[in-house]
Structure formats: structure tokens, C-alpha cells
């Protein structure tokens, strides 16, 4: 069981009470358990302002774990070194007044190995320098709180606090911290830190701790810390448990949200307020599936627009974008659970910057999409604020009335103009300024049939009628083509101002192609008045087969086909290939023919004789003469019975021809031999010629 040791618990000194000696005070109220002022019945005796810290620890040995609470106005002086004797202490809360002298933390505090909770609430009292490095020995700490503490120069947290390896919660609120934050805190706490909160800390000029992709970090909140902070933690949003991010009132802030922001797997609540953080809101916002609240306000370095992908965030209930660098058209689709929407331009916005086009950064423009009116009528959207922007046009004209009786609507300082739709008019009739504001827009007319005084909602008629009588018009509805307001100039059918329709064809068609033919027929083909092809009315000229008026059909081929390709060959055949008049040598009209032997010859040439006839005159025949002179040869030819003279005559004839042949050969050889000797042989004398 955890006991509580309350030293000098908050109570007023009894009127007329006699001051007691310090020793007597302690002896009187140390009970059997070694606890001081343990019973409620002893509260009246716990008097204020006793400067004897060391005496409090002279009760009997304290062996149980307990909490030590030192309340404001009830203790003074410094923490005694005997604090190190309370080795079972688990929670230590020290509260002091601003009038107390600077407070010194003794090094013996490092002996409290079981200390789980440590808090200093000083009401703007100060630490004296330096804080002991022994603070790093408190490795069981899971929660550390500094509230209203003034850290003297040199009294900042020592680097050894990076050894707080079990730390889950770090809270610094309304403190003066002029030193640097230990760089060891980020890596030292990253495995266990759950909530890191710094709010209203002045004098700060340091790098925020970088926890990287801490597996335990749930909340990262830095608010109203001045004058300067630096943020550089590109892996922060890879933390699987990070749900809450607050960067607020940090005008000296230097840093940017890293691209990993859009990959955060568990992020639920984001507040970027009065902060110089750099960041672009774009379509990647649709990836933050767990997001339920997004506030971007007074952040000039946050840019971009509200993308349509915002509708993909099924859990988003609150979207506030105001006085930042974010602008553009409003989304045409909303998340299903969204109940609060704000789109506001920069502070001091001048609607004159909306014309002719929005010129101021962070300005919303365009009409209010129907989805906002639909959600208000359905009752799912309970707060709509559109202000300080170039949102223009008429509001959605939908039937119905706002469904939630507690809804709030502010549409102010915009270019929205008449008419006021019925769903908003009914709301304005019954809802006062606490939940309705329709001032400083471009309304020109009071909503009929009501007077402005009939409306509970404040509304003003700040619009101007143009010369055409149109609310917030540009005179375009009554300006003629010559640029004269309420003028009478009109464009002709050719688009020419005050023109005479010079672009009309004969059929009255602007820029048409119809013309009169020779018969004065609009769009005619000259066929109605007997004009021949030569243009002669009543003429006889006709186009030939080639389309030539009075032509000679020059384009007709030998088959009579217009523009055909057939022609006569060398033989005079139309479309022929010269085959009908070419002889066997390919000569047109030549004399050569193939004879019965298949030879290409001139059969009329002198000495012509077929080369293939046998002795019987048969082409390619096989008949031959026998020795008896028979053709064809006869088996009855018997040379033995022939007279010897006849045989000899036959033989001599053959011999004579043979001798003649040999003589001719011999003469030729001799002639050749003589030439050889003359050209190539040696001299006959056998002597060398000189």
C-alpha cells in the first residue's frame, strides 16, 4: 500500500497558537509508522513556513514506498541532503512560492532509484545553478513536470537526463528556460516517451529533441515557446503511435514538416497555430486515414489548397483553415463525419483584392459548393465559417432548413450576393449573433418580404448595384456591343457591331458557301436554263467522254475506255504484246521461220537444205543407204556378188578423198613450221648471228 507523507499540509496557523520548537514539533507528530502529519485530525497543527527541512527526515526509518508532497507556503529553505535517505520514495512533488529564494536541488537526489514521478511547481520561483548531473541517475522516472519554474542561466537540464530510459511523460509549462535543451533527450527517451509537452516557455533558443520513429510517442506538443526554436526530425511521423501534433504560437520557429508527415499511420489531431512552420497542404492529405481534426491558423508559411481528397478522410470531424497561405476553391465533397468547417482568409482582408482576380496569398475564391448547404440542411454540419475571402456568387438555392438547432453559420466579408436562399433566411430570422453572422458581404436587397430588423442574425447590405440594376454586377448585362451601357448597338449576324451582314451567302447563311449559278439560281448547277458546257445558253456543246467540253475523246484508249491504258502493239493489235508478227529471231515482220527440223532459218535463201532429213527425205528419220546404194538399206544387198571393178571404183573414190585431205593437212603443217623457225628457231649455219 502506498502511503503519503504530507509535510506541512496546506492549513492556516491557528489563531493564537503558541509557536512550538522545531524538535518538539517533529517529536509530537512522528507517528508509529514514522509518518509526519499522517492523520486528517492533525492538519490543524501543520503550520506554515517552517525552515527546517532536515528535521522532517528525523522520524523513524521510512522503509515503505510513499509520496512526498511539499505544498506551497508550508515549507521554506532548501531541500536537505537527507533527501537521499528516502530510497523507497516513488513520487516527489515540490511546490514553492515566487517569494522564496532560488531553489537548489542537492546531488543526493540521485539516490532515489525508485523515483517514478518528479514535479516542481514554483509559481515562477527559480532554480539556482547548476542542476546536478546526478539527475541522470533517476532511471526509473516515468513522468517529469516543471511548472512555473525559472531556470537560471546555466541551470538547464544536464545532458545526463538522456539516461531517463523509462521516461514516458515530459511536461514543461510556463517556465523560463534560457539554456539549451540536451541533445541526449531525443535518442535517450525515444524508446519509451509517450507525451512530450512544452507550453508557454520563454527564453528558449534551442533545437527541439528529435525522437525519430519512436515506437511509443503519442503526443508531440510545443506551444508558445519563445523566442526561437529549431525543428529537424524527418523521421518523427514514421512513429507508429503518434496521434497528437501541436505546434502553436511559435513565431520564431524554424523548420518544416517533413514529407513523412503524409505517411503517418496513426495521426489523429493536428494543430498548426500561430506558427512559422513550413508545410504544403495537398492531395496527399487523403492518405491520413486516422485523422479526425486538422487546424491550420495564422500560419503564413503553410501553403496549398484544400484538395478534393479531403473527402477520403472517413474519421475527420473538424477542419479549420484560417489566416494562412492556404487558399483556392472550396472542396466540392466533404468527409462523411465532418461537423465543423472553417475557411478564412488573412487578417485584415480587403475584398477589393478580389477584382478582377484574387491577388492575395491564402485567399479562398469561387462559389460556395452545394455540399455545404446540403450538410447544414441534413444536420450533419453544425458549424460553417467562411470569412475574409473572395468566395462569390449566389449561395446554393436548396429547399429545406438547417437541421441542427444548435448550428452556427458565419458567412462574412465575402463577395457572396443576392438572393438569400430560404434555408439560410429561415435560420437568420431566429438565430442571433452568437451563432449567425451575415455582415460585410455583397448583398444588395433586403430579403423579401422582411425588413432587416426582422432578422435576428446580423446582416448588412454592402453590395452595389451596377448601372444595369444587377447586384454586384459589372454592367455586362446591359452594355451594348459598342461598349455603351444601356446603348442600342447590336452585332449583326456576322458578329460585327452595327454591321450590315456582309458575310451572308445567297441563302442567308453567315459565312455560307452558296452562290448564284449562271441561271441566277442560288446554289444551282446551271441545269435549269439550258446552258451548254461552254456556258452558252441554248448551246449544243457537250462534254466528251473525257469530260472535255467539245473534246475529241483524247483520253480514250484503243478499246474505247476513257482514261484507259490499252494501246496498239507493233503488230497493230490493241492491247497486244507483239507476238502475232514477230519471226523466230524476234524481228517484227522478219523472214525467218522454223523449218521441219526446228531450226530458225530463211527457207527462201539460196542453198537452203534441211539438216535433219534422212536419205528417204524424212525429218529426223533413221533411213540410211547401204553399200548397194539402197535407201533405206536392204537386207538383199550382197557386196560379194558385185564386180571387182565396182568395188575398186568405190574404194578409189574414198582413197582419193583421203589423200586430198592429208595433202591439205601437210601443207598447213609445213607452213606453220616455217613461221616457227623464222620467229623462234636457231640459224641454219649453226653460228651465232651478230
Query: Could you tell me the pLDDT band of residue 40, with boundaries at 50, 70 and 90?
Result: very low
Which of 2 and 638 is assigned the larger pLDDT?
A: 638
Give the model's pLDDT for residue 72.
37
Q: Which of 316-325, 395-404, 554-563 has the lowest mean pLDDT?
A: 554-563
**What nine digits make up the cell of 187?**
535518442
Q: Which of 205-219, 384-398, 447-461, 557-571 has the lowest mean pLDDT?
A: 557-571
Maximum mean pLDDT: which of 38-42, 206-210, 540-544: 206-210
For residue 364, give the nearest of 393, 402, 335 by alpha carbon: 393
Query: Could you tell me the pLDDT band of residue 67, with boundaries at 50, 70 and 90?
Result: very low
Residues 6+ apart with CB under 8 A from 437: 409, 410, 411, 412, 457, 458
Average pLDDT (222-231) is: 86
Query: Could you tell me the pLDDT band of residue 59, with boundaries at 50, 70 and 90?
Result: very low
Give the model's pLDDT for residue 685.
40
For residue 297, give the nearest of 319, 272, 277 by alpha carbon: 272
pLDDT reading at 33 higher than 90: no
Average pLDDT (616-621) is: 82
Q: Which ranges constitute the DSSP H helices of 159-224? A: 185-189
Query: Could you tell me the pLDDT band of residue 12, with boundaries at 50, 70 and 90?
Result: very low
Cβ atoms within 10 Å of 507's Cβ, excluding its own = 11
Query: Could you tell me the pLDDT band of residue 642, with boundaries at 50, 70 and 90?
Result: low
Tens digit of each residue's pLDDT (9 = 90 or more) over 91-115: 888 777 666 678 888 999 999 999 9
Backbone angles phi, psi at 51, to 5 degrees: -90, 30
Check: CB of residue 223 under 8 Å from CB of residue 199: yes
Question: What value does the mean pLDDT of the chain take?
Answer: 80
For residue 175, give the nearest of 208, 205, 201 by alpha carbon: 201
Query: Could you tell me the pLDDT band of residue 310, with boundaries at 50, 70 and 90?
Result: very high
Give the model's pLDDT for residue 282.
95
Query: Could you tell me the pLDDT band of residue 671, with boundaries at 50, 70 and 90?
Result: low
Which helix H or strand E contains 670, and what residues bound it? helix 644-680
d(CA 670, CA 134): 142
Q: Please classify residue 674 by burial: count the beta carbons closer than 10 Å to its beta carbon, then call 0-12 exposed, 13-18 middle and 19+ buried.
A: exposed
Check: CB of residue 344 under 8 Å from CB of residue 318: no
How many angstroms separate the Cα of 465 from the Cα of each of 327, 443, 469?
Answer: 28, 10, 5
Which of 515 and 65 is assigned the larger pLDDT?
A: 515
Which of 28 and 263 is assigned the larger pLDDT?
A: 263
Q: How far apart are the first and last CA of the chain?
A: 155
Check: CB of residue 131 under 8 Å from CB of residue 102: no
Chain center to CA of 352? 33
Give the model's pLDDT for residue 650.
59
pLDDT reading at 225 higher than 80: yes
Which of 635 and 283 is assigned the larger pLDDT?
A: 283
How many angstroms separate the Cα of 230 from the Cα of each of 198, 249, 578?
Answer: 14, 14, 102
Average pLDDT (555-577) is: 84
pLDDT reading at 641 higher than 60: no
At what angle are helices 370-378 and 422-430 packed, to 10 degrees?
Answer: 50
Tens digit of each residue's pLDDT (9 = 90 or more) over 365-419: 999 999 999 999 999 999 999 999 999 999 999 999 999 999 999 999 999 998 9
Residues 6+ apart with CB under 8 A from 102: 125, 126, 127, 128, 152
Strand partners of residue 6: 69
Within the chain, what is the greatest distance between any pair of CA atoms?
203
Amino acid at each position: 500500500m502506498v502511503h503519503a507523507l504530507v509535510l506541512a499540509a496546506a492549513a492556516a496557523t491557528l489563531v493564537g497558537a503558541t509557536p512550538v520548537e522545531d524538535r518538539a514539533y517533529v517529536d509530537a507528530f512522528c507517528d508509529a509508522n514514522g509518518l509526519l502529519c499522517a492523520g486528517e485530525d492533525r492538519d490543524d497543527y501543520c503550520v506554515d513556513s517552517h525552515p527546517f527541512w532536515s528535521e522532517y527526515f528525523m522520524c523513524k526509518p521510512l522503509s515503505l514506498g510513499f509520496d512526498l508532497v511539499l505544498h506551497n507556503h508550508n515549507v521554506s529553505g532548501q531541500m536537505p541532503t537527507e533527501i537521499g535517505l528516502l530510497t523507497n520514495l516513488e513520487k516527489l512533488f515540490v511546490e514553492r512560492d515566487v517569494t522564496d529564494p532560488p531553489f537548489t536541488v542537492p546531488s543526493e537526489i540521485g539516490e532515489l532509484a525508485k523515483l517514478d514521478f518528479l514535479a516542481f511547481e514554483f509559481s515562477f520561483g527559480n532554480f539556482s545553478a547548476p542542476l546536478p548531473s546526478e539527475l541522470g541517475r533517476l532511471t526509473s522516472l516515468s513522468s517529469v513536470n516543471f511548472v512555473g519554474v525559472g531556470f537560471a542561466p546555466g541551470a538547464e537540464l544536464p545532458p545526463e537526463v538522456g539516461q531517463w530510459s523509462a521516461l514516458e511523460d515530459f511536461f514543461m509549462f510556463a517556465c523560463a528556460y534560457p539554456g539549451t535543451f540536451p541533445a541526449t533527450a531525443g535518442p535517450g527517451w525515444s524508446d519509451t516517451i509517450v507525451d512530450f509537452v512544452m507550453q508557454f516557455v520563454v527564453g528558449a533558443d534551442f533545437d527541439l529533441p528529435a525522437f525519430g520513429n519512436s515506437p511509443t510517442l503519442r503526443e508531440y506538443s510545443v506551444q508558445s515557446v519563445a523566442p526561437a526554436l529549431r525543428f529537424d526530425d524527418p523521421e518523427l511521423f514514421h512513429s507508429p503511435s503518434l496521434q497528437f501534433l501541436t505546434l502553436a504560437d511559435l513565431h520564431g520557429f524554424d523548420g518544416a514538416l517533413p514529407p513523412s508527415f503524409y505517411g503517418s499511420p496513426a495521426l489523429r489531431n493536428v494543430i498548426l497555430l500561430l506558427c512559422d512552420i513550413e508545410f504544403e497542404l495537398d492531395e496527399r492529405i487523403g492518405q491520413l486515414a486516422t485523422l479526425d481534426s486538422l487546424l491550420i491558423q495564422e500560419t503564413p508559411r503553410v501553403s496549398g489548397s484544400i484538395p478534393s481528397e479531403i473527402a477520403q478522410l472517413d474519421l475527420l470531424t473538424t477542419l479549420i483553415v484560417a489566416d494562412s497561405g492556404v487558399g483556392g476553391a472550396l472542396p466540392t465533397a466533404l468527409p462523411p463525419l465532418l461537423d465543423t468547417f472553417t475557411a478564412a482568409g488573412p487578417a485584415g482582408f480587403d475584398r477589393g483584392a478580389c477584382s478582377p482576380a484574387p491577388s492575395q496569398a491564402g485567399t479562398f475564391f469561387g462559389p460556395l459548393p452545394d455540399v455545404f448547404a446540403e450538410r447544414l440542411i441534413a444536420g450533419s454540419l453544425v458549424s460553417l465559417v467562411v470569412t475574409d475571402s473572395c468566395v462569390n456568387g449566389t449561395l446554393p438555392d436548396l429547399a429545406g432548413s438547417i437541421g441542427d438547432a444548435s448550428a452556427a453559420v458565419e458567412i462574412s466579408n465575402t463577395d457572396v450576393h443576392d438572393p438569400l436562399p430560404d434555408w439560410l433566411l429561415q435560420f437568420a430570422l431566429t438565430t442571433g449573433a452568437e451563432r449567425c453572422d451575415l455582415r460585410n458581404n455583397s448583398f444588395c436587397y433586403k430579403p423579401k418580404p422582411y425588413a432587416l430588423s426582422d432578422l435576428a442574425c446580423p446582416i448588412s447590405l454592402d453590395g452595389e448595384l451596377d448601372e444595369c440594376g444587377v447586384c454586384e454586377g459589372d454592367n455586362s448585362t446591359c452594355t451594348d456591343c459598342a461598349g455603351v451601357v444601356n446603348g442600342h448597338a447590336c452585332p449583326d449576324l456576322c458578329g460585327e457591331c452595327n454591321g450590315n451582314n456582309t458575310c451572308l451567302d445567297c441563302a442567308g447563311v453567315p459565312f455560307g458557301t452558296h452562290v448564284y449559278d449562271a441561271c441566277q439560281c442560288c446554289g444551282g448547277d446551271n441545269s435549269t436554263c439550258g446552258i451548254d458546257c461552254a456556258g452558252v445558253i441554248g448551246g449544243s456543246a457537250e462534254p466528251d467522254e473525257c469530260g472535255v467540253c467539245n473534246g475529241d475523246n483524247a483520253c480514250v484508249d484503243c478499246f474505247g475506255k476513257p482514261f484507259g491504258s490499252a494501246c496498239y502493239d507493233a503488230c497493230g493489235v490493241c492491247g497486244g504484246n507483239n507476238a502475232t508478227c514477230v519471226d523466230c529471231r524476234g524481228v517484227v515482220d522478219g523472214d525467218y521461220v522454223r523449218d521441219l527440223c526446228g531450226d530458225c532459218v530463211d527457207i527462201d535463201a539460196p542453198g537452203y537444205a534441211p539438216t535433219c532429213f534422212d536419205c528417204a527425205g524424212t525429218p529426223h528419220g533413221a533411213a540410211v543407204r547401204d553399200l548397194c546404194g539402197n535407201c533405206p538399206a536392204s537386207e538383199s544387198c550382197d557386196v560379194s556378188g558385185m564386180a571387182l571393178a565396182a568395188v575398186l571404183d568405190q574404194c578409189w573414190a574414198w582413197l582419193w578423198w583421203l589423200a586430198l585431205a592429208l595433202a591439205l593437212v601437210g601443207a598447213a603443217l609445213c607452213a606453220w613450221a616455217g613461221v616457227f623457225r623464222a620467229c623462234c628457231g636457231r640459224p641454219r649455219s649453226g653460228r651465232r648471228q651478230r
